[in-house]
Amino acid sequence: MSRAGGQRVRIRVTAAAVFAAVLVAGCGGGGSGDSDAKATESAAAQGTSSGTGSGSGSGAASVSAAASEAPAAPLGEAELKSAALVGGDVDGYQITDFPVRPDGDSVARPADCQPLENMRTASPDPGPRAFVGLLAFGGAGPTAGSATTVGLMAYDRSDAEGILDGLRAALKKCTAYEGGVPARTTARAATAPGAGDEAVAFGLETQGDGEDAFVVVRSGATVVLFYTATGTGSAAQVPTELVTAQIRKLEG
């Protein structure tokens, strides 16, 4: 899978072909994490999960029936792979590995918007200790014609919390930005699901395209990115069933 600096992360669908996914651009100031970091033994962490909205925060719908213990210590790449969804885990979805890891730079102007652009390129700052990527293709029903990138990222607990804090702060100040792509990108906060220990949701729309949807969940010391694009020009929505299944497997 190729990488070309400066182009946009896009997942597009055509009527004649299955999805093609290209993950490019860069780390926005945060260096790449060591994907071969040693697995650290998991410690018991959180109790009941409570969804935290991105900006507004209220009205978040619960997507987990019961709380699970989430790893409080950083996971290694092997542990992330074991916790990642595979084909057959979620009805109606084809799930494949997405091994490409971005390593370029993508700068947002104004700088307040940088955390959003970092997440759009799957390159949060700081970079994770380990990273595992997936692509989930919706094949039937309302999810047909959509593709969701899922990125599992291992951190120290404080850094994981900082990623979510940074996104919330950005969404309070950032409504639009330039950089990373040829056209202006607008941003808006959305209602986050009640998943993991905390979650943030938002939409990004580049001029001339439909709005892409993002959900970022922290479970213990692991941050999970869900990024959905429809490829149809209409607004995307991250499938709740994917979020539920992935966080449940991570916490299981």
Give CA–CA dist 59/53, Å, rounded: 8
Model confidence band, residue 71 (pLDDT cutoffs 50, 70, 90): low
The tokens for 168 are 């919330």
Residue 181 and residue 206 in contact, taking contact as beta carbons nearer than 8 Å: yes
- pLDDT tens track for 21-49: 333 333 333 333 333 333 333 333 333 33
Whether pLDDT at 130 is above 70: yes
Question: In 3-state terms, the chain is what percent helix, strand and coil (to 5)?
Answer: 20, 25, 55
